Structure 1
Amino acid sequence: MIEKILLAVSGLGHAEEMLKTLKEIPSIQQAKVTVLHVVPAQTTATAMTDKWEEGGKILANAIQTLNLDPSQVSSILRQGEPKDVVCQVADEIDADLIIMGSRGLKRLQSILSNSVSQYVFQLSSRPMLLVKDDIYVKKIRRIMVAIDNSDAAKHCLNLALFLLRDIPGGQLILSNINTDLRGKTSEVSEINPEKNPTLAAAVAQAQRQGVPVRCYTSSGKPGEEICRLAEELNIDLLLLGSPDRRPSVAKSFVDIDRLVGASLSDYVRVNASCPVLLARTVG
């Protein structure tokens, strides 16, 4: 269920447009929306005043753009470090989904440029919908889930079915990649799920909920193949599970090793041609 959405706005990007598109989905229409803008600390009182005024205008413009029922939307203007405040407010309102814009920076760039979206995804266990500045937000009809045996993938499947169950003409696309780390690729092909137990279970779950489903596969490097399938199959929204590998003692720290390492979710976040909803199970 998605009943509480946190939309973090900065005055740039397609995050507001993404929320408007989501709000057209029947299962999301009653969700409460909190629009957040964070004002970073400034060195002088005058600069701080200017930033507060600017932040107020950004919030007002975002709410006007969204054009939602006033009973469904609230706004928060808060001072602080943006990446910390987004996490704090998400916890305060118990958000079921965080929506943020993303510049699509690669891993090391994200660290060096203090990427808010990358930091929030590392530290929050909540599903996060990232909308890159350079993509076109389309009406959501075709949702793809990268499926495997992980709990995170099953969580994504449940989210996708929640979104699709009342979309007229909606379709679930399940992708299953045959990993070839040498980068040798194959054609994208539709497959019979009965030959794959993981896909068969997911298809049965979709059919029980009356959601049309098709299954595709290809081989190659997983991140590259997921992005290729999303583009070739004209996907409107991609859902990808991201297992949380951090031990509980390290929950409050950014996992630098993982940021720098070969993260599948990070590759897809940067390179996918459609909005990406990243989700992990809460450990």
Structure 2
Amino acid sequence: MIQKILLADSGTGHSVEMLQSLMDLPAIQGASVTALHVVSQQLSKDAMEEKSQEGEKLLEKTVQTLKLDPSKISKLLRQGDPKSVVCKTAEEINADLIIMGSRGLKRLVSILENSVSQYVFQLTDRPMLLVKDDIYVKKIKRVMVALDKSGAAQVSLDLACFLLRGYSDAELILTRINPDLDPKLLPLSKEDTENNPVMAESIPKVKNQGIKYRCVVTAGRPGQQICNLAEEYNADLLILGSPDRRPSVAKVLPDLDRLLGTSLSDYVRVNANCPVLLARKEFA
């Protein structure tokens, strides 16, 4: 369940609007929210105090904008390295979901420009909802889930089913990109699509929750095709499994595939034209 949400509010981007859209879902409406703003180290004490005052005003504006029950929202103003503070705070409050904005920087640029979202994405093991600064946040009506044979994909499906439980306004788009499928066989019939082994395993979960759905099976490069389908079907939210592949003894070390932008989840994070929810843990 999602009971605790960490909203990393930098004062830019659309993370607040994303949370507002998410709060339309019955499954989320009982969650508590911690709005966090981090003040980076400044050159002088006066500059630090000024930035802290600006942060307080920003958090107060965020609370007023969200209009949540006062018992369900709290403010945190902290000082330090934003990427480290976000990860540490998520651990402290045991957040079930992190929401934050992203500039959508690619590959080494994100490292060289000290991208906060990129480092949090790499370091946290918690579900993370990234909202690029250049996209428009909409009411959630079409949720797309990228499926394959991995356990991470089933975690993302479980998360999607949880989010849409009891929400009749949305449709779930189940997508399977099969790189080995002969493009000459496309488009598949509805029967062949739903009989695809990955779809056949996933559909009963969706039906059991009474969620409206459609299935799409196609060929091609997974990252590129996932982004193309998100645009084609006008997805308002894309959910993708993003497992932590590092051994436990190396949790503090960078995952170079992610940092360099070579993983599937990193490609989609950068190139999708809608908010991307990265599912990390098993979801009940």
Identity of aligned residues (%): 61
Q: Could you tell me which residue of structure 2 aligns to residue 76 of structure 1? A: 76
C-alpha contact (below 8 Å) 2:145/2:238 kept by paired residues? yes
Indicate whether 1:19 and 2:22 are aligned.
Answer: no
Distance 1:231 1:109 in 2: 25
Residue identity in the other structure for 1:143: V
Distance 2:264 2:98 in 1: 20
Q: Normalized against structure 1, the TM-score is what?
A: 0.94
Q: How does 1:9-158 map to 2 (within 5 A)?
A: 9-158=9-158
Distance 1:185 1:40 in 2: 54
Cα offset, 1:197, TM superposition? 1.8
Q: How does 1:168-179 map to 2 (within 5 A)?
A: 168-179=168-179
Indicate whether 1:280 and 2:280 are aligned.
Answer: yes
Residue identity in the other structure for 1:66: L
Cα offset, 1:257, TM superposition? 4.3
Count of residue pairs the alignment pairs up: 280
Cα offset, 1:107, TM superposition? 1.7
Q: Could you tell me which residue of structure 2 aligns to residue 235 of structure 1? A: 235
Distance 1:19 1:47 in 2: 30
Aligned-residue CA RMSD (Å): 1.9
Residue aligned with 1:136, SS: coil
C-alpha contact (below 8 Å) 1:123/1:251 kept by paired residues? yes
C-alpha contact (below 8 Å) 2:155/2:280 kept by paired residues? yes
Q: Could you tell me which residue of structure 1 aligns to residue 245 of structure 2? A: 245
- Structure 1 segments unaligned to the other structure (5+ residues): none
Runs of 4+ in 1 over 2 A off after TM superposition: 184-195
Indicate whether 1:163 and 2:163 are aligned.
Answer: yes
Q: Normalized against structure 2, the TM-score is what?
A: 0.93
Cα offset, 1:189, TM superposition? 6.1
C-alpha contact (below 8 Å) 1:186/1:220 kept by paired residues? no
Residue identity in the other structure for 2:98: I
C-alpha contact (below 8 Å) 1:141/1:167 kept by paired residues? no
Cα offset, 1:256, TM superposition? 2.6
**Closer, same or farther: CA 190–23 of 1 in aligned 2, 3 Å:** farther
Cα offset, 1:195, TM superposition? 2.3
Distance 2:189 2:139 in 1: 24
C-alpha contact (below 8 Å) 1:171/1:212 kept by paired residues? yes
Q: Could you tell me which residue of structure 2 aligns to residue 198 of structure 1? A: 198
Residue aligned with 1:220, SS: coil
Indicate whether 1:219 and 2:205 are aligned.
Answer: no
C-alpha contact (below 8 Å) 2:261/2:267 kept by paired residues? no
Distance 1:106 1:35 in 2: 27
